[in-house]
């Protein structure tokens, strides 16, 4: 196993921090940061800011003498020519001595950078903070390896698991801090998805408003029968993508028909279609029926749950439309990733165990 020094650890942490600056902007590309050093002195650093712009390595190498340098990057340098030249060649041309990557590139088109560097006589190592690097780009990894986005389902509920009044009203169950936090998760997603039930009940805009962001995620509606009201706020502004079970039209929307045997939207095929459009992370804010359908069909990778210190009682809507299991051993088990207090709310992040 490769031994990394304390300086290696510090520089990879810095590369990860730089990569995180592209949290809202790099889609569909991965978030990448790069630090160039020589004799434990930082020569330059950069991050990939947006798709089509310079990759982190190229930006860091620009205008400096990197001969004999060590380069730290959270993702293996790409080895293909896309919208920009391959980073591997830039590193070879710069005559760097060593490259340390947190993780290998899961994208088959861009992989092989480590081998190309070694063939050019450059030392290549990887595995330092690999899990942290994977988490930062979990949507990109999901898209290029599974052909579907990483699906994060957000729910705001009371302590008794209720998400809305019997009439469907749900604004606002949680407090200001939780709502702002939810907008940060929206902002990092490539697309935000809801269902026709939520459109009817809440008339949401589904935009990022509580945090500064240079772009708005794609807005997506699951509407089998194309019942979205023509005056719905979600149809205002940037064009919306609607998945339906039949062909049709809605104003300011692209309608894609993907029907299953039950005459509803084929959700797994919908995820494949979104991946084909470069969607890495899909953020879901829907009602209990669509939530339940996504869970039943194995479409949810992560649950983002906000619990408010209140109760709504019987008759109010629940989180998921799911049938009770025959026994406790058959219930859907989740693994908690984190628990954080936000004002009078708790934020839970959990994944299927």
Report H helices in 228-341.
Answer: 267-276, 288-296
H/E element holding 242?
strand 240-244
pLDDT at 81 over 70: no
pLDDT at position 172 is 80
Highest mean pLDDT of the ranges 48-62, 83-97, 321-335: 48-62
pLDDT at position 26 is 93
Contacts of 5 (CB under 8 A, 6+ apart): none
How confident is the prediction for the chain on average, in pLDDT? Answer: 91
Residues 316, 314: Cα–Cα separation, whole Å:
6
pLDDT at 158 over 70: yes
Percentage of the chain exceeding pLDDT 90: 76
pLDDT at position 25 is 92
Comparing 188-202, 251-265, 270-284, 322-336, the range with the smallest average pLDDT is 322-336
Instruction: Identify the residue with better confidence: 163 or 261.
Output: 261
Residue 129, classed as helix, strand or coil, is coil
pLDDT at 237 over 60: yes
pLDDT at position 284 is 97
pLDDT tens readout for residues 18-50 = 999 999 999 999 999 999 999 999 999 999 999
Comparing 64-68, 199-203, 321-325, the range with the smallest average pLDDT is 321-325
Measured from the Cβ of residue 289, the count of other Cβ atoms closer than 10 Å reads: 16
The pLDDT of 93-114, averaged and rounded, is 90
pLDDT at 317 over 60: yes
Specify the DSSP class assigned to residue 275.
Answer: H
The residues with which 318 forms a beta bridge, in sequence order, are 162
Exposed e or buried b for every residue in 292-313, given b needs 16+ CB within 10 A? bbbbeeebbbbbbbbbbeeebe
pLDDT at position 347 is 95
Residue 310, classed as helix, strand or coil, is coil
The pLDDT of 68-77, averaged and rounded, is 96
The catalytic site residues sit at 57
Question: What is the rounded end-to-end Cα distance, in angstroms, of the chain?
Answer: 29
- What are the chain's domains? 6-136 (3.40.140.10), 143-352 (3.40.430.10)
- Write the CA distances from 347 to 179, 214, 308, integer angstroms: 11, 26, 9
pLDDT tens readout for residues 6-16 = 999 999 999 99
| Sequence-distant contacts of 58-62: CB under 8 A, at least 24 apart | 58/84, 58/85, 58/87, 58/90, 59/34, 60/34, 60/35, 60/36, 61/36, 61/90, 61/91, 61/94
**R_g of the chain, CA atoms, integer Å:** 22
- Write the CA distances from 35 to 44, 45, 75, 78, 175, integer angstroms: 6, 4, 12, 16, 39
Report CA 223 to chain centroid distance, whole Å.
23
Q: Which two tokens stand for residue 330?
A: 């058959």
**pTM for the complete prediction?**
0.92
DSSP state string for 29-93 = SPP-EEEEEETTEEEEEEE--STTS--HHHHHHTTS--TT-EEEEEEPPP-S-SSS--HHHHHHH
Percentage of the chain exceeding pLDDT 70: 96
pLDDT at position 110 is 67
pLDDT at position 167 is 66
pLDDT at 82 over 80: no
Report CA 272 to chain centroid distance, whole Å.
15
The residues with which 125 forms a beta bridge, in sequence order, are 100
pLDDT tens readout for residues 106-152 = 988 767 889 999 999 999 999 999 999 999 999 999 999 999 999 99
pLDDT tens readout for residues 191-233 = 999 999 999 988 999 999 988 888 999 999 999 999 999 999 9
pLDDT at 243 over 90: yes
Residues 149, 144: Cα–Cα separation, whole Å:
9
């Amino acid at each position: 196993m490769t031994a990394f020094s304390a300086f290696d650890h510090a520089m990879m942490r810095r590369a990860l921090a730089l990569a995180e600056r592209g949290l809202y902007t790099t889609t569909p590309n991965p978030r990448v940061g790069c630090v160039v050093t020589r004799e434990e002195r930082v020569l330059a650093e950069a991050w990939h800011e947006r798709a089509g712009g310079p990759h982190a390595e190229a930006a860091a190498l620009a205008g400096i003498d990197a001969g004999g340098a060590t380069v730290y990057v959270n993702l293996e340098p790409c080895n293909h020519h896309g919208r920009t030249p391959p980073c591997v060649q830039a590193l070879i041309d710069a005559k760097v001595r060593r490259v340390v990557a947190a993780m290998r590139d899961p994208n088959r088109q861009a992989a092989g950078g480590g081998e190309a560097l070694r063939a050019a006589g450059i030392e290549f190592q990887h595995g330092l903070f690999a899990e942290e690097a994977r988490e930062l780009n979990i949507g990109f990894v999901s898209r290029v390896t599974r052909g579907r986005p990483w699906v994060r389902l957000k729910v705001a509920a009371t302590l008794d698991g209720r998400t809305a009044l019997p009439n469907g009203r749900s604004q606002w169950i949680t407090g200001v801090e939780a709502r702002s936090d939810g907008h940060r998760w929206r902002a990092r997603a490539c697309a935000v998805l809801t269902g026709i039930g939520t459109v009817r009940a809440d008339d949401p805009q589904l935009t990022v408003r509580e945090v500064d962001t240079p772009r708005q995620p794609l807005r997506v509606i699951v509407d089998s029968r194309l019942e979205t009201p023509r005056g719905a706020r979600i149809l205002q502004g940037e064009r919306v993508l609607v998945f339906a079970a039949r062909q049709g039209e809605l104003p300011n929307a692209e309608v894609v028909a993907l029907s299953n045997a039950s005459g509803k939207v084929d959700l797994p095929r919908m995820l494949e279609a979104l991946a084909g459009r470069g969607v890495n992370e899909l953020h879901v804010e829907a009602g209990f029926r669509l939530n339940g359908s996504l869970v039943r069909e194995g479409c949810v990778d992560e649950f983002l749950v906000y619990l408010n210190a209140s109760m709504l009682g019987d008759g109010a809507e629940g989180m998921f439309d799911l049938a009770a299991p025959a026994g406790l051993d058959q219930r859907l088990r989740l693994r908690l990733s984190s628990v954080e207090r936000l004002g009078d709310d708790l934020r839970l992040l959990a994944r299927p165990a």
